[in-house]
Chain A
Amino acid sequence: MARTLGVKPLTVESLDKIKRTASDLVRHASKNLRHCHYADLRIELVEIKSARSENGSGKSASDDYVFGFGIRVLAGDPLPAPGYFGHRLGSADLPKLTPLLKAGLKQAYDRALANARYKAEMRKRFKELGESLAGLPLAPIETHQDTVKAEYGIDPRSVSLAEVARYTTEVSRAVKGLGQRIRFNAIATSTSFSRELFASSEGTLIDQSFATTLGFCSVVAENDQAEQSLYDYIGHQRGWEVVTEGTRTELIRHLDLLTFSTSLAHDCLKLIDAPPLKATDKDVVVVTDPHYNTLKAHEIIGHPTELDRALKMETAYAGRSWLLRSLKETQLGKSVASPLVTAYSDPSLPGLGHYAYDHEGTPARKVMHIEKGVFKGFMNSRQTAGILGVEPNGSYKAIEASLVPLIRMSNTVFGAGQQDPQKIIGEVDRGYYLVGHRNPSIAESRENFSISAQKVYEIRNGQIGQLYRGGGMTADTKDYLMKVDAVGKDFRLFPIPNCGKGQPMQTKRLGNGAQTMRSRARLTGL
């Protein structure tokens, strides 16, 4: 299909001109800047089309680009310190990008030097309390020069904005058409092609491209007695076909956006006629479906296994991790879950969490978190890997080049089990089946969670029965994981497009996945 250029003066090919220059600039940084120990540079250009409709009418559409760069410098003697500089750019910046990058490098270097001077002063001033102020060398990695291509069916650059807007409004109109009891709906789509360059003073040069497409639906339904609002996403690292055709692969299966959205609206309509779920004050048997468990994997496996949290770097924001109390007191090698539970992060899996190299050029690899119930390890960055004395595993990512990366999930999942999901339900005399995740509220170190569900059904004598509206379940993390007594073989990956972390907050897209699982927890109600 022909590519639509619109009025954008910049395309991902614009980076061809700067690739080698950027690499040379950063490679020579440690020679040109006297106290520079390390520098890296990320440049990104995203071509993105998006649209939003409400109640069957268009609200907005956009065909634009995001262009920016970010620089990290470690500099200063005797204790190096980090300095950063990031900029979003415009099309007028392309011809003058080299001097902009040079100035950015100098500014990051100056920040690092100032930071290092204060660090040395404070270390001296505070004696024992100053001893932990350290140089923090990056753990070594092999250097790579590589180019990674994007995968897609319909190139996001080839679909016209008019088509994106038309389809989005068509979906919204279809949801509205389900009747008067649908009080509001909002549909949003986006399809993008991004290209990221990473170059380091160590000689790494990575050129990665990604195609990403997302669809979103929010519905409010209401009758005389009740209301229900639900929202959900579809998404994949592929082209525009993700929303128009859906995805039918072994690990990712979702409907086209129109069927997906009308189905979510039908769920809302069923739920407003259902009785509210009552909370329980004691544990009950809970069977949870792959979509519900996806958010559970995200919240109680993914987040506490991010090493920046575990090392207390996120104490003020995203929180810490109960899996690491101190460098000498961790849960590594200890039983934290039932032997049926295995969990890991794997950027080689498809979906929103897929990538080949992270944002410091470390090759991405599978990180085992829990193996047959035993805690095995954290996602890390080069700095945090150096602190813990382990190998970097490629988990350092930013949502755009101008922002500083953080340790983020790739595809963090519960590993598949062996059991038939129907049998997992069939074995329950009395319990509840929670379908689809809704909202989470998790304790600071991830030691307790509460996650609401889209739908909750009663299970009686092995059969799914009454549907309930609202509510979900809550439990202490370790108790819940230790009580898991069945894990299904119906593994699926889902998109999580809105994971917030960092200051300023970076809302990241990533993948999570799971299968049917059975354990015990308390129900929360409406």
Chain B
Amino acid sequence: MISLATLKSAVQRALRQAAQAKDIQEAEVYASSTGHLLCRLNYTSAIPCNGVEEPKSSEAFGLGIRAVFSGTDGPRIGFGSEARDLSPAAIKRALEKARQNAVPDPEFMSFPAPPQAQPPKLPASHDRAIMDLKDGTLVEAGWTVLREALKTFESSEPLAKLAGSKEKLANLGLIVGGDVSLFRQRIAIGSTRMPKVQTDESTYITSAVTSMVERKAAKGSGYAATTHLAKFKGEAGADAARNAILGAGGQRLPSGTYNVVLGPQPVADLMTNLILPSLSADAFYSCKSAFLGEVGRPVAADLLTIYDYGAAKGFVGTKRLTCEGLPTGRTNLIQAGVLHGLLSNHYETQRLLKDPRAREKLGLNPQEHQDVLIPRNGFRLSNSGGRQFDVPPSIAATNLFIEGSTPHSQESLLASVGNGVYIGRIWYTYAMNGLRAGDFTCTVVGDSFLIQDGRLTAPLRGNTIRITGNIRSLLRQVTGVTKQAKPIVGWSADEVIYAPEIAVRGLQLAEIAQFMESV
């Protein structure tokens, strides 16, 4: 990892070099050093396997420059970057690339000016143990998760009973898959408008594990996310194995309309694939949002509040600064059911403020409601690998929180539903008719149960239910939210969803894949 001091001095040097170029009107320099270390797990009791399949890493550092160049037909904006080199020669090459790549963009206004609000004073939350992590520890982290899963399987009396004896456990087709991912990232940013170079650093570790008792068609999930290695105990492996055991012998569910409780993973999946993309300023600009023209209006049950909070102390997705050098903070997206604000970066905020159709697209005049578009979410994220110097800023959430006006425990939420279905894991959730239409479908793959008399009872068989719904209707049909939430980072997602369990009225569930009973 490159030190913050080195990144900072490279940004300062680059700003000086940019200032000497006569054709540069404005410049912004971003340097980063990011590591993503990952162990992918693959254990199968009935198929030869490696256990830890891929101990691997991807480390990158470098700098990226965005600059506005004078041109005969107006200003041109370009971006250039150089990898693994912060020298004056590399800065020169990045500047040349930015100049060569520049295009006129009439919607570009400027780079961000110094904000009135100071960046939050957060205590240092990065973990030196992750910053300095050695290969042996990476491999150990993977095996720790796997060991916890196998210990859970090995010590389970119900599982031994299903197998016939402890010696025959392997015949049940036990599976442990998933990963342990460690992220470490440092950034420095400065611009001609914000010449004081700012820095930020963070670390976190996530684990998403899927276990199966495949002979019994049972799948269980386990998730863990924390900022410090010392807090990482491999519990996602144990949770996944425990949940797989609970799901053994699941039954089918007849097609119909059910009251449901969505577990943390389905809530996170719906947020990542449908709701957050629709709450992004660019989706409003391009007329693709499911909430087009609805800012300031009710879009969900009035008990529901959703907000993004990048400056929340001690959370996994916390960052002090955006990748545009602006302070992170709390953005109220849906407040008591009303669409209140959007995730935005500086560019999208500026162009919506200038857009003559903004009132129509948003539902109100953004010039009169500038709190709707505060650019707290301009991040440079690439390939789920953390903050990267070689891409310009786009929009991403940080820590997403979902709350109910009357927080429930799981018990009280289940009791409020009475009879219905608990859906613990969904898969392949897509907007089938485009994001704006809001229609979606997905399948239920595990961790799911019948709710009878307010309690979880029989497990449901995975891969036998397809959900069909509309995200706008679903949000309006929310009837309760638990207080407790679990941090979940979805596959290929960057944001951390602190996902509660949510009760929803009247969801369409269809029975599928009956032919599999005879395969």
Contact = CB atoms under 8 A, between A and B. Distances in A.
Contacts of A165: 103
A339 to B, nearest CB: 18
A326 interface: yes
A136 B287 contact: no
B232 interface: no
A472 interface: yes
A86 interface: yes
B140 interface: yes
A134 B36 CA distance: 27
A184 B286 contact: yes
Interface in A487-506: 500, 503-505
A526 to B, nearest CB: 5
Which residue of A114, A227, A445 has the most chain B CB atoms within 10 A of its CB atom?
A114
A315 B97 CA distance: 42
A273 interface: no
Chain A contact surface mostly: mixed
Given A63-B100, A136-B50, A131 B170 contact: yes
Given A87-B59, A107-B135, A110-B135, A312 B47 contact: yes
A445 B492 CA distance: 20
A118 B135 CA distance: 13
A51 to B, nearest CB: 7
A86 B139 CA distance: 16
B177 A474 contact: no
Interface residues of A, number: 100
A64 interface: yes
B45 A119 contact: no
A319 to B, nearest CB: 7
Contact of A63 (B41, B97, B384, B428): B97
Interface residues of B, number: 112
Contacts of A442: 428, 443
Given A51-B103, A111-B139, A129-B154, A311 B432 contact: no
Interface stretch (B18-26, B324-332, B368-376, B509-517): B509-517
Interface in A216-234: 220, 222, 227-230
A415 interface: no
Given A86-B58, A505-B383, A447 B463 contact: yes
Contact of B82 (A91, A184, A326): A91
Interface stretch (B85-93, B405-413, B474-482): B85-93
Contact of B443 (A86, A131, A443): A443
B103 A470 contact: no
Interface string B18-57: 0000000000000000001010111111111111111111
B67 to A, nearest CB: 13
B83 A184 contact: no
B431 interface: yes
Contact of A132 (B41, B48, B136, B427): B48
Interface string A421-456: 000000000000000001111111101101010000
A7 B47 contact: no
Contact of A61 (B60, B101, B427): B101
Interface string B385-408: 100000010000000000000000
Contact of B432 (A229, A317, A524): A524
B53 A82 contact: yes
Contacts of B311: none
A441 B50 contact: no
A229 to B, nearest CB: 4
B62 A90 contact: yes
A470 B433 contact: yes
A235 interface: no
A387 interface: yes
Interface string B156-190: 00000000001111100111011101000000000
Contacts of B45: 129, 132
B106 interface: yes
Contacts of B107: 57
B161 to A, nearest CB: 16
A311 B103 contact: no
Contacts of A256: none
Nearest to A311: B47
A183 B139 contact: no
Contacts of A331: 519
A59 B103 contact: yes
A283 B117 CA distance: 59
Nearest to B151: A126
Interface stretch (B197-205, B434-442, B452-460): B434-442
A195 to B, nearest CB: 18
Contact of A122 (B54, B93, B147): B147
Interface in A446-482: 447-448, 450, 452, 470-472, 474, 476, 478-479
B449 interface: no
A60 B287 contact: no
A404 B41 CA distance: 14
B383 A89 contact: no
Contact of B44 (A67, A132, A230): A132
B430 A443 contact: no
Interface stretch (B123-131, B207-215, B415-423, B496-504): B207-215
Given A90-B85, A311-B47, A129 B432 contact: no
Which residue of B147, B209, B212, B519 has the most chain A CB atoms within 10 A of its CB atom?
B519
A140 interface: no
A2 interface: no
B136 A133 contact: no
Interface string A285-329: 000000000000000000000000001111111010010011100
B491 A134 contact: no
A59 B140 contact: no
B146 interface: yes
B15 interface: no
A325 B169 contact: no
A280 to B, nearest CB: 12
Which residue of A67, A128, A403 has the most chain B CB atoms within 10 A of its CB atom?
A128
Contacts of B302: none
A284 B165 CA distance: 49
Contacts of B146: 122
Given A6-B100, A57-B107, A447 B49 contact: no
B101 A60 contact: yes
A265 interface: no
Nearest to B492: A505
Which residue of A165, A442, A447, A504 has the most chain B CB atoms within 10 A of its CB atom?
A504
A343 B440 CA distance: 29
B432 A439 contact: yes
A203 interface: no
A92 B84 contact: yes
Nearest to A83: B55
A243 to B, nearest CB: 17
B139 to A, nearest CB: 4
Contact of B49 (A7, A93, A136): A136
A444 B443 CA distance: 8
A165 B59 CA distance: 31
Contacts of A311: 44, 47
A110 B56 CA distance: 11
A60 B385 CA distance: 22
A161 interface: yes
12 contacts: A83-B55, A84-B55, A128-B168, A227-B437, A311-B44, A312-B47, A313-B177, A317-B491, A438-B433, A442-B428, A443-B466, A504-B492
Interface of B: 36, 38, 40-60, 62, 78-85, 87, 89-90, 93, 96-97, 100-107, 135-136, 138-140, 143, 146-147, 150, 153-154, 166-170, 173-175, 177-179, 181, 208-210, 212, 214, 219, 285-288, 383-385, 392, 427-437, 439-443, 445, 462-463, 466, 468, 491-492, 512-516, 519
Closest 5 CB pairs of A and B: A90-B83, A58-B103, A316-B177, A134-B48, A316-B210
Given A91-B85, A129-B170, 11 more contacts: A7-B96, A51-B103, A84-B56, A89-B83, A115-B55, A132-B48, A227-B436, A229-B436, A311-B47, A312-B44, A444-B463
